[in-house]
Amino acid sequence: VMKHNFIPGRTAGSERAFQDAKEVIPGGVTANIKYFSPYPLVMEKGKGSRLLDVDGNEYIDYLLCYGALILGHGHSRVAEAVISQMNSSGTFIFGSPHQLEVEMARKLITLFPGIEMVRYTNSGLEATLLSIRLAEAYTGKRKVAKFEGHYHGGYDQMLVSVNPDAGKAGQASNPNPVPDSKGISDYHLEHTIVLPFNDLEATEKILRKHKDELSSVILEPIQGGFIPAEEKFMKGLRKITEELGILLIFDEVKTGFRLTVGGAQTIYNIKPDITALGKVLGGGFPIGAVGGKKEIMAIMSPDRGKDILTAGAKNDVKDDVMFHSGTYNGHPIVLAAGMATIEVLEEPGTMEELLRKSNNLRKELEKLYNKYNLSMKTIGMGSIFNLVFTDGPVKNYRDMAKADLELRKKIDYELLHRGIYTKPMNRYSMSVVHSRGDLQFTIDAHEKAIKKVIQKVRG
Ligand code: PLP
């Protein structure tokens, strides 16, 4: 039996904790993506840009809870807002409407061009799920189109062609719907049309073919948070969907507050019909939100949106209301954390400095890999990027699949040994509290990792 030498002698506590967890939690993880081989590191403390594992190893964190922690760990402003909300209200949650829901909704309406009204959920997954149901209820059509390689949360209809095997994925310009999990019903495969990202011509062709059944197109404006839609593609997609009566859903769960506070739609200057938010919006607590045009959002109004829907609007609700609910929706403590987070991000210079840091790190890393004759490029936008080992362009899922993933994996494991935390193969997210020293440490760690990997590969 092969003995795993993960971080020799230094992560015995994580390994023990993992063995223990496995007895009561499948695979020892509460989300499949949190697993990595031979065992995930088990963390105990976080502070600022740092994480401390159960063995006392310290890491600079670039995973940042999959991008959610844009202010780093335990930011004092967020902590104060949470405590103050509990103290002033005397409760954790009211179970009734409350003022913060409106305050946050007004904030989101100001920030996001496509948002005129808001509903809250408890996760990004729920936000895209609700977006899709809204589109189906509004248009009366039953199918949804998504892009190959785009992730919208782990539920049946969206667990299609997120990460398909090359052998099953079909033609690049006309991808097959491939289930990403066991237990995905034929219904969902039949009702999900898969599109090729950044290929406007092929996308248009598929959309035209299915226009009578398609309620919506959902996409990550920046695939995986790091492969941007080309501007021409985005403009074209908006135009075609409008023409064909298909709603355009921007899944801004990752991008929402990480490019500019107002998300990718602000950068691209495109108004989606519906927007899904999450992650940063909760300041480290669980949340999601759906925003969109009044005419669409109003179909959730229990009072049938009488004062919102104009006479003759396409959507004359009459007696059908689209149901949406959730015990913890609009949780006051979460909203307080989110408001505090947005306030910090809106302070003059904060976003600019965050983006400057990300760009500097990207530049320095590219220079470094170049020095060692490794064709690595950083792909990304705003405060999220990824390291991709390839000579070719990276515009979609197929391009990513052509990159040298083995090399990337080796580097990532060496980085873990040297105090840089990303889940292997995951993108990098930057926080406002990462310091110059952190970045220099990161670059030095990469250099050591490169040397080690090259030594192994090139001998
Ligand atoms: N949509 C996108 C673009 C995401 O990145 C994620 C999470 O990674 C989700 C939806 C799902 O959000 P959550 O994990 O909060 O359910």
- Per-residue pLDDT of 239-275, as tens digits, reads 999 999 999 999 999 999 999 999 999 999 999 999 9
- Whether 442 maps to a domain, the answer reads no
Same domain membership, residue 133 and residue 30: no
- Whether 411 maps to a domain, the answer reads no
Same domain membership, residue 145 and residue 250: yes
Find the 419 Cα to ligand 1 centroid distance in Å: 26
Tokens 């197109």 sit at which residue?
A: 217
Q: Which amino acid is at 458?
A: R
| Contact assessment for residue 128 and residue 276, using Cβ atoms and an 8 Å cutoff | yes
**Alpha helix positions (H), 39-142:** 76-89, 99-111, 124-139
Find the 252 Cα to ligand 1 centroid distance in Å: 9
For position 166, which CATH number holds?
A: 3.40.640.10
Q: Is the pLDDT higher at 311 or at 305?
A: 305
State the angle between helix axes of 436-458 and 350-371 in degrees (0 to 180), rounded to the nearest 10: 20
User: Is the confidence at residue 368, as pLDDT, over 70?
Assistant: yes
Cα 51 to Cα 48: distance, rounded to the nearest angstrom: 8
- Whether 381 maps to a domain, the answer reads no
Looking at residue 3, its pLDDT comes to 47
Find the 253 Cα to ligand 1 centroid distance in Å: 6
User: Is the confidence at residue 457, as pLDDT, over 90?
Assistant: no
| Contact assessment for residue 174 and residue 206, using Cβ atoms and an 8 Å cutoff | yes
Cα 83 to Cα 81: distance, rounded to the nearest angstrom: 6
Same domain membership, residue 30 and residue 147: no
The answer to whether the CB of 152 is under 6 A from ligand 1 is yes
Same domain membership, residue 80 and residue 18: no
Cα 342 to Cα 80: distance, rounded to the nearest angstrom: 14
Among all residues, which ones are annotated catalytic? 151, 251, 279
Same domain membership, residue 234 and residue 119: yes
Give, for ligand 1, the residue of 254, 257, 275, 287 to mutate: max count of ligand atoms closer than 8 Å to Cβ.
Answer: 254
Identify the residue whose C-alpha is closest to ligand 1 atom 10: 152
Of the residues 346, 367, 388, the one at which a domain ends? 346
Looking at residue 2, its pLDDT comes to 41
Nearest to 75 by CA among 286, 291, 341: 341
User: Is the confidence at residue 43, as pLDDT, over 80?
Assistant: yes
The pLDDT-based confidence of 6 (bands split at 50, 70, 90) is confident
Domain that holds residue 31: 1-41
Counting the structural domains of the chain, the total is: 2
Looking at residue 303, its pLDDT comes to 83
> Per-residue pLDDT averaged across 439-457, rounded?
94
| Contact assessment for residue 294 and residue 375, using Cβ atoms and an 8 Å cutoff | no
Counting beta carbons within 10 angstroms of the beta carbon of residue 308, is it exposed (0 to 12), middle (13 to 18) or buried (19 or more)?
A: middle
- Beta carbons within 8 Å of 251's beta carbon, 6+ residues apart: 124, 127, 128, 131, 150, 152, 218, 219, 220, 221, 276
Looking at residue 408, its pLDDT comes to 96
Looking at residue 7, its pLDDT comes to 79
The answer to whether the CB of 71 is under 6 A from ligand 1 is no
Q: What tokens appear for 181 in the block?
A: 């999990």
- 331-365 pLDDT, tens per residue? 999 999 999 999 999 999 999 999 999 999 999 99
Looking at residue 5, its pLDDT comes to 60
How many Å is the Cα radius of gyration of the chain? 22
Same domain membership, residue 286 and residue 179: yes
Nearest to 203 by CA among 194, 195, 212: 195
User: Is the confidence at residue 314, as pLDDT, over 70?
Assistant: no
Same domain membership, residue 205 and residue 316: yes
The string of DSSP letters for 272-326 reads -SEEEE-GGGGTTS--EEEEE-HHHHGGG-TTTTTTTSPTT-S---TT-------
Same domain membership, residue 133 and residue 1: no
Find the 277 Cα to ligand 1 centroid distance in Å: 9
- Whether 422 maps to a domain, the answer reads no
Ligand 1, atom nearest to 150 Cα? 3
- Whether 103 maps to a domain, the answer reads yes
- Whether 52 maps to a domain, the answer reads no
Same domain membership, residue 95 and residue 1: no
> Per-residue pLDDT averaged across 183-205, rounded?
98
